[in-house]
């Protein structure tokens, strides 16, 4: 995720009161998956206060500005979607007819964060859209590693791996974009795609652009919002369950630790400032898979083997959520 403009607003330090009990409940259901998780949660200690969110904002903001600039400078010209200037309507893929498996009949929407070609369409993606609680940019370029590997390429690669895994389980999978449109979609449309698909679960894939030394993944859960077109009250609880299952399985699949800079060691952060969550009417989470500005995280994020493990963790979390 890249936080420019209004995204720099400090995330509100509110947390779902359900989070801690649900974490315990999930731990009881999937003890193997959450063995390491429990250790990190314990080390994280008290859930109170908003220190993590504040630290995130102060550490992320300067590097994010640099990230956007270097995105533009270093972006390799290696992708070639339609350059019509208009989004195409074909950014979806469905499971083959007759798919079988435990997720048969289930719909999962995967939202690969950003778009590899957003940087070529700054005026379009800077257009403000209403996310219920406020207006914010249509989309952002995303961050990149110091060597120039863009977040948008990472998110699309992981999305493809995740799609394959979920389709193998029989799910119908739809992507919000598949490198087949010249920019975006805007954050409001990303939410709308999940809503109109009546998704049983939706996940937005990102990698963070924080300071060196900040490591690990975190899952972002929607906080309760009821303002304008945004009303997340019905999805807060199921999204928390989805997020906790994704986080627990992500730990198991990757062997990695939750974020050491947000979430108090739980790998879970609740936010009310993200349009993609605020406008969702279906259970949805974001996942920041790691920090593209930390060398150790980058070694993982740039590894296809690691990205497969990451997708596996997400898939197992989603399967766990959908099977109940």
Instruction: Please list the active-site residues.
Output: 288
Total interface residues for Zn ion by CB under 5 A: 4
Q: Is 185 in the site for Zn ion (CB under 5 A)?
A: no
Cβ partners under 8 Å of residue 128, min gap 6: 135, 136, 137, 138
Strand-pair partners of 220: 269, 286
Residue 57 dihedral angles phi and psi, to the nearest 5°: -65, -45
- Which bin fits 209, alpha (ψ -120 to 50), beta or left (φ > 0)? beta
CB of 72 to Zn ion, least distance (A): 16
CB of 131 to Zn ion, least distance (A): 15
CB of 203 to Zn ion, least distance (A): 13
Q: Is 205 in the site for Zn ion (CB under 5 A)?
A: no
Q: Give the span between the Cα atoms of 113 and 175, in whole angstroms.
A: 11
Cα–Cα distances (Å) from 294 to 40, 125, 213, in that order, read 20, 27, 6
Please list every residue from 256 through 315 that binds Zn ion, using CB under 5 A. Answer: none
Stretch touching Zn ion by CB under 5 A, among 66-74, 111-119, 213-221, 245-253: 111-119
Q: Give the span between the Cα atoms of 320 and 166, in whole angstroms.
A: 12
Among 44, 112, 113, 275, binds Zn ion (CB under 5 A): 113
CB of 207 to Zn ion, least distance (A): 7
Among 206, 215, 252, 307, binds Zn ion (CB under 5 A): 206
CB of 49 to Zn ion, least distance (A): 25
Strand, coil or helix: what is 217? strand
CB of 227 to Zn ion, least distance (A): 23
Cα–Cα distances (Å) from 203 to 41, 63, 91, 113, in that order, read 23, 25, 16, 10
Please list every residue from 115 through 144 that binds Zn ion, using CB under 5 A. Answer: 142
- Tally Cβ neighbours within 10 Å of residue 48: 9
Q: State both tokens at 297.
A: 């995280």
Q: Is 218 in the site for Zn ion (CB under 5 A)?
A: no
Rounded to the nearest 5 percent, the helix, strand and coil shares of the chain are: 45, 15, 40
Stretch touching Zn ion by CB under 5 A, among 78-86, 90-98, 203-211, 231-239: 203-211
Cβ distance to Zn ion smaller for residue 26 or 186: 186
Q: State both tokens at 113.
A: 């964060």
Q: Give the span between the Cα atoms of 69 and 148, in whole angstroms.
A: 11
Cβ distance to Zn ion smaller for residue 113 or 263: 113
State how far Cα 19 lies from the chain centre: 18
Stretch touching Zn ion by CB under 5 A, among 69-77, 112-120, 260-268, 290-298: 112-120
Cβ distance to Zn ion smaller for residue 68 or 320: 68
Stretch touching Zn ion by CB under 5 A, among 72-80, 191-199, 202-210, 219-227: 202-210
Cβ distance to Zn ion smaller for residue 1 or 246: 1
Q: Is 246 in the site for Zn ion (CB under 5 A)?
A: no
Residues that bind Zn ion (CB under 5 A): 1, 113, 142, 206
């Amino acid at each position: 995720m890249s936080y420019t403009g209004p995204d720099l607003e400090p995330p509100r330090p509110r947390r779902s009161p359900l989070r801690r009990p649900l974490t315990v409940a999930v731990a009881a259901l999937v003890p193997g998956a959450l063995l390491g998780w429990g250790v990190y949660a314990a080390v994280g200690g008290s859930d109170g206060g908003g220190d993590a969110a504040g630290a995130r904002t102060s550490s992320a903001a300067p590097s994010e500005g640099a990230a956007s600039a270097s995105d533009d400078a270093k972006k390799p010209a290696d992708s070639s979607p339609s350059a019509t200037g208009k989004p195409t309507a074909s950014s979806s893929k469905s499971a083959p007819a007759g798919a079988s498996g435990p997720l048969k009949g289930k719909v999962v929407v995967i939202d690969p964060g950003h778009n590899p070609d957003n940087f070529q369409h700054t005026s379009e993606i800077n257009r403000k859209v209403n996310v219920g609680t406020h207006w914010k940019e249509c989309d952002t370029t995303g961050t990149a590693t110091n060597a120039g590997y863009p977040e948008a390429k990472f998110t699309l690669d992981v999305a493809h791996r995740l799609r394959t895994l979920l389709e193998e389980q029989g799910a119908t999978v739809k992507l919000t974009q598949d490198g087949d449109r010249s920019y975006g979609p805007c954050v409001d449309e990303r939410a709308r795609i999940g809503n109109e698909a009546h998704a049983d679960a939706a996940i937005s894939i990102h990698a963070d652009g924080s300071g060196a030394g900040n490591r690990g993944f975190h899952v972002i859960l929607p906080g309760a919002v009821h303002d304008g077109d945004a009303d997340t009250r019905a999805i807060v609880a199921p999204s928390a369950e989805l997020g906790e299952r994704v986080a627990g399985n992500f730990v198991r699949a990757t062997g990695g630790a939750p974020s050491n800079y947000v979430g108090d060691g739980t790998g879970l952060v609740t936010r009310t400032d993200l349009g993609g969550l605020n406008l969702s009417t279906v259970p949805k989470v974001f996942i920041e898979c790691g920090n593209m500005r930390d060398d150790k995280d980058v070694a993982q994020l740039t590894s296809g083997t690691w990205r497969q493990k990451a997708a596996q963790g997400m898939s197992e979390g989603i399967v766990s959520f959908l099977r109940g």
